[in-house]
Amino acid sequence: MGTARPLVVAGALPGKPVKTTVIRIDNMDCATEEQIVRNRLRGMAGVGALEFDLVGRRLTVSHALPEEGPLVVALRSVGMAAVLADGAEDASAHRGEAARAHRRWSVLAVAGVAALGAEVLAWRLGDERALPVIALASLAMALGGRDTLRKGWAAVRTLTLNINFLMTLAVAGAVLVGQWPEAAMVTVLFALAEAIEGYAMDRARNAIRALMAMTPDTATVRGPDGAWHTIPAADVVVGQRARVRPGERVPLDGTVVAGMSSVDQAAITGESLPVDKGMGDVVFAGTLNQRGTFEFDVTAAQGDTTLARIVRSVQAAQAKRAPTQNFVDAFARVYTPVVVVLAVLMATVPPLTLGAAAGPALYNALVLLVIACPCALVISTPVTVVSGLAAAASRGILIKGGTFLERGHALRAIAIDKTGTLTHGRPVVTDVIPLVGDRPEAELLRLAASLDSLSAHPLAEAIVARWGGEGLLPVARFESLTGRGVSGTVDGRRYWVGNHRLAEELGVCGVHVEAHLERLEREGKTAVVLASDDAALAVFGLADSLRDTSVAAVGQLAALGMHLVLLSGDNQTTVRAIGDQLGIDDVRANLLPDDKVAAVLALADRYGGVGMVGDGVNDAPALAAATIGFAMGAAGTDVALETADVALMDDDLRRLPSFLHLSRRTTVILRQNIAIALGLKAVFFALAFTGQATLWMAVLADMGGSLVVVANGLRLLRGRGDAGFT
C-alpha cells in the first residue's frame, strides 16, 4: 500500500522512507468525522500529512511507520470503520452499502414507531416519566441513537466539539430533566436527518462511480493461436489486438486497425453526437460502440486509460479544498467554541444571578448547543464542489480542483492561442489558381501533388491531401530545395513547386503572378507556385483553417462579457486575418513563449482574472501564469492533464463558455448555502435566547438546514450539455 514520497513527517527518523497509505473509512461522511480522525492521528509519532476524500470515504496518510496496522487500530479505537483500501475492498464495500442502508432504514422505522408511541402514551397518561413511556423512549434511543452515541463518545475521547457530541449532551440533558418522550423523538429525528443526508451524499459518490463503471471488466483479444478470447481487461497488455462488437463498450484505449463504426464518446469528450471511427482513429475506454465491428491495437493498460486518468484527477480534485471551504472551516473553528461558551453561560448565569429555575435554563442551553453546530455550513461546500466537478467531467471538462471551479467566475479576460486551439493546427489548400488556359485545375493539382508526394513538408502534405485521389504521376530526379520547395522531372520535363522566393529565382514572377501572391499573403495565407522552366503554371493558397466551432465559441465568450485576446507566434498578417474572421479586435503576433507570459500578466494587471487557452505543451509558461490555464484537446495527452488547471477533453472551444457558466452557477449556489446555513442559525438563536425553541425544533433547524444545502448543491448534477450550465 505504501509508496515512497519526498515528504517531511513529524517524528520520522532521518533517512527513514516516507510512505503513503490509503485507508477506507465507511462511516466517515462529513467534517465531524474528519475532525475526530485528525485529532486522533495528529499526535501519533511518525504520522505526517492527512488528505481527506469525504465523498470517496478515503483517507491518505503520509507516514514513516514500518507498517500500516497501527493506523487502522488507532482509527478503530475512536469508532472509525477503517480498512486498508484496495480495489477488492472498495468493490466489496460498495456492494454492501445497499444492504447496510436497508438495515438502517428498518431499524430507524422501529425506533420511530417506539418514539411516537412514547409521545402518545405520555399524552394519554399525562406523565412523561411513567415506566411504559420510559421503556418505549429507551427502546427508541437505543435503536435510533446507537450511531450518534458511539460517535459522541468518540468525540469526547478526542476532545472534538461536533454535532454528535452536542446531540449526546442534549439527549442526556433531556433525560436528566425528565423529558423522556422528547429525548426519544430528538434521537429519531436526528437519525432520520442523518440517513437522508447520507442518501444525498451517496448521489455525489455515485456520480464519480458512474464514470468508473463505464469501463467493462473484460476484453475480447486475439490470442497467439489467432482465435478471439475473452479475458479480464486488467490482463490485457499494450500492443494486443482487441475487438469490439456493436452495443459493446470499448474496454481500453487504442488505435483502430480494421473495420469501421460510429462511437458515442460523450463520456470522454462530452460530444453530443457519435463520432465515426476508421483506420488509424483513436478510441477510448468506456466509450460505446454504436454500430459495426472494429479491431484496435491497445495503447494503454487498464489503469492508464484516458478514463482512468480522468477519474483519478476528479478524485484528487475533490480532496483539494476550495477557497470557500477554507473560509467555512476557519469560521467553524472559532464559531463553535464561542457558542458552547454561550450555552454554558445560559445554563449557569440565570440560576446563579437571577434566581431562575435550573431545569429550564439547562434545557435552553441544550437547545442552543444543538443549534450551534455548523454542520450545514461545513457540509455545503464539499458537496457543491464535488457535484460541480462531476458535472463538468461528464461534459468533457476536467477541472483539477475546487479552487479553479470557483475562480472561473472571476475571469474577465481570455487569452487564446491560435494554432491548434482556434485552428486545426495544420495547413489546408484554400485556393487553386490556374495561370495557363490550356491546362485544367485538376491536371495542375495532380502534377503538384505528384512532386510533393516525395516531400514530408506540411505544405506538401496539404497539397497531396487536397488531390486525395489515386494516379499520381511518376517523378524522376526528385530534389528537395531547402527553404524554397521541391523539383522533379515528369514525362521528361522539369517542374518546380515552391514559395515566392523560388518563383523569383526561376524568373517566373510576372505582374499577374505577383498580384495573386500579394492577395493571398494579405489574406494571411501561404502562397505556393507550380512552375515549369519558363513559366508559372498555377498558384496555390494554403492556410491553417478555423475549427468549425471556433466562431460560435468566441461569440459565446463575448456574450459572457469576456475581453478576448488572440496570441500567436505567426506573422501579423496571418493572425490579423484569423482575428477578423472571428471578430477578435485584440490580436498579438510574432510572440515567443516569454512574450505570451508577459501578455497574460499585463492582462491580469488590467482585468484581474485572466484565462489562457493553449495546447498544454508549447503554451505551458503562459498557462501557468494565468489565473486559470485551459488545455485544449486533452484526450490522450498526459502533459495537458498534468499541467493545465482545466482540460477541455476534445477540440471544441465551446467547452470554455460551458465551464464559465458552471463556475458562475457554482459560486451562486455556494453563496446561497452559506446564507441559508447562517440565516437558519440566526433565527433559531433568537428563539433559543427567548426560550421559544425546543430540542426537536433545534434538530430540525440543524439537520434540516444540512439537507437543504446538500440538495441545493446536488442541483449542479442536473442537466446535460452546455444548456445544463445556464
> How far is the C-alpha of 256 from the C-alpha of 296, rounded, in Å?
4
Bridge-based pairing of strands 563-567 and 411-417 is parallel
DSSP one-letter code for 249: B
Exposed / middle / buried, residue 259 (Cβ in 10 Å: 0-12, 13-18, 19+): middle
For 29, phi and psi rounded to 5 degrees? Answer: -110, -25
DSSP 313-346: HHHHHHTSPPHHHHHHHHHHHHHHHHHHHHHHHH
Residue 164, phi-psi category: left (phi > 0), alpha (psi -120 to 50), beta (remainder)? alpha
> H/E/C letters for each residue in 126-159?
CCCCCHHHHHHHHHHHHHHCHHHHHHHHHHHHCC
Residue 288 has a CB neighbour count (10 Å cut-off) of 18
Q: What residues does 411 pair with on adjacent strands?
A: 609
Residues facing 290 on adjacent strands: none
Euclidean distance between CA atoms 4 and 153, whole angstroms: 36
Q: Are 21 and 68 in contact (CB under 8 A)?
A: yes
How far apart are the C-alpha atoms of 466 and 445, rounded to whole Å?
8
Q: Are 708 and 378 in contact (CB under 8 A)?
A: no
User: Is 188 exposed, middle or buried, given 0-12, 13-18 or 19+ CB atoms closer than 10 A?
Assistant: buried
Please indicate whether residue 452 is annotated as part of the active site.
Answer: no
- Which residues are paired to 283 by β-bridges? 254
Taking a C-beta distance cutoff of 8 angstroms, is the pair 231, 221 a contact? yes
Q: Are 70 and 46 in contact (CB under 8 A)?
A: no
Per the structure block, which three cell numbers stand in for 533? 522552366
Location of C-alpha cell 433547524: 701
Q: Which residues pair with 486 in a beta bridge?
A: 480, 497
CA distance 560 to 408: 12
- Considering the candidates 417, 570, 645, 722, report the single residue annotated as catalytic: 417
What is the 8-class DSSP label of residue 13?
P
Residue type, 569: G
Cβ–Cβ < 8 Å for 589, 576: yes
Do strands 476-481 and 485-490 pair parallel, antiparallel, or not at all (unpaired)? antiparallel
State the cell numbers at 178.
425528565
Positions marked catalytic: 417
